[in-house]
Amino acid sequence: AGPGSYTVGTMSERFDCHYCRDPLQGKKYVQKEGRHCCVKCFDKFCANTCIECKKPIGADSKELHFKNRYWHDNCFRCVKCYTSLVNEPFMLRENNKVWCSNCTATEDAPRCKGCFKPIIAGDQNVEYKKMVWHKDCFTCSQCKQVIGSGSFFPKGDDFYCVSCHEHKFAKTCAKCKNVSPGLTYQEQPWHSECFICSNCKKQLGGKRFTAVEDQFYCVDCYKECVAKKCAGCKNPITGFGRGTSVVNYEDESWHDYCFKCTKCARGLANKRFVCHNGKIYCADCPKRL
């Protein structure tokens, strides 16, 4: 936002107010669009209206403008947290309301299916069929223990850990159709030799695996063939070990430890950042470019 486009001063020459014709010599006046007028007439006829408080922005007030919209400097605040946005990054959104960068990120963040609170950059989370949870909110429907990034079995709107699913539901092998005393997945039991990785064909019984569109993958094949690749280090982003925290921004994803300023390499997970020419920077570095 920038300052208003008019001049305020004290008249040293002989001019009359454009509106009331009172002499201006020796008095405070305002010049706008080539016209000289007294302060009173400026406030009455020329002042812009603040889009926030709907009151005129007088000659004695500080004015900010952006895209043909005007504010008193004291009215230029985040609609959510009321922080002053003079000289701060901001976004103009619906209903002509301005938002600070932090509140914008929180408002646009996906909502946890469990607690309904926003999942912000850097939060550990679990995604399944376009739904997302905080890692600690993704729990077994039976025992209520946190499933987190571990193996689970969906049934309707419920999710079960391996142990609870095996105890709760009957077991018959989905592949060979024989009675199975072993694994269970998606309401169907499997023999260990039938429950294999879709890519390398290794057995998955007792091992960590991931299901993607009805296909099962061991950890190595999931990393190689399916997992999103980090825009920073180009390595896969998985739910296993280091790198479970993910930062998503404009169709790209990063490990939280790879999401850093292009110039100073400061870590930016869960911090304010700026995107400039397709590159990520901390709030300070673009000022020095």
Region for 187 from its dihedrals, namely left if φ exceeds 0, alpha if ψ lies in -120 to 50, beta otherwise:
left
Q: How far apart are CA 243 and CA 247, in angstroms?
A: 10
CB atoms within 10 A of CB 241: 8
> What pLDDT is stored for residue 3 in this prediction?
46
- Asked if 46 and 30 touch (Cβ cutoff 8 Å), the reply is yes
In degrees, to the nearest 5, what angle opens at C-alpha 207 toward C-alphas 205 and 210? Answer: 100
End-to-end CA distance of the chain: 20
> What pLDDT is stored for residue 113 in this prediction?
82
| Strands 273-276, 69-72: pairing kind | unpaired
Nearest alpha carbon to residue 103 among 86, 85, 115: 85
Residue 258 tokens, joined: 């790879």
DSSP 197: -
> What pLDDT is stored for residue 9 in this prediction?
55
The pTM for the full model equals 0.34
- What's the one-letter identity of residue 218? C
User: Which CATH topology does 229-288 take?
Assistant: Cysteine Rich Protein (2.10.110)
Same fold, 2-76 and 229-288: yes
Q: Rounded to 5 degrees, what are φ and ψ at 155?
A: -145, 105
Residue that has been written with the tokens 């995604």 in this structure: 127
Report the top-level CATH class of 2-76.
mainly beta
Nearest alpha carbon to residue 262 among 283, 280, 289: 280
Please list the residues that pair with 108 across neighbouring strands: none
Q: Give all strands (DSSP E) within 162-271, no chain letters.
A: 183-185, 188-190, 209-212, 215-218, 246-249, 252-255
DSSP 27: S
| Whole-number average pLDDT of the chain | 80
Q: How far apart are CA 114 and CA 159, in angstroms?
A: 12
Please state the domain extents for the chain: 2-76, 229-288
CA distances from 189 to 167, 182, 233, 274 (A): 11, 7, 39, 49
Q: How far apart are CA 96 and CA 74, in angstroms?
A: 16
Per-residue pLDDT of the chain (289 residues; tens, 9 = 90+): 544 555 555 655 777 888 788 887 778 878 777 778 888 888 788 888 888 888 888 777 788 878 778 888 888 888 788 888 787 787 777 777 888 877 776 676 678 888 878 777 667 888 888 788 888 888 898 899 888 878 888 888 889 888 888 777 756 677 777 656 666 776 677 788 888 899 999 988 778 888 888 788 988 898 888 888 888 888 888 766 665 678 888 878 888 888 899 899 888 888 888 888 878 899 888 877 6
CA distances from 121 to 91, 110, 249 (A): 18, 10, 9
**Model confidence pLDDT, tens digit, residues 20-49:** 888 877 788 787 777 788 888 887 888 888
> What pLDDT is stored for residue 201 in this prediction?
92
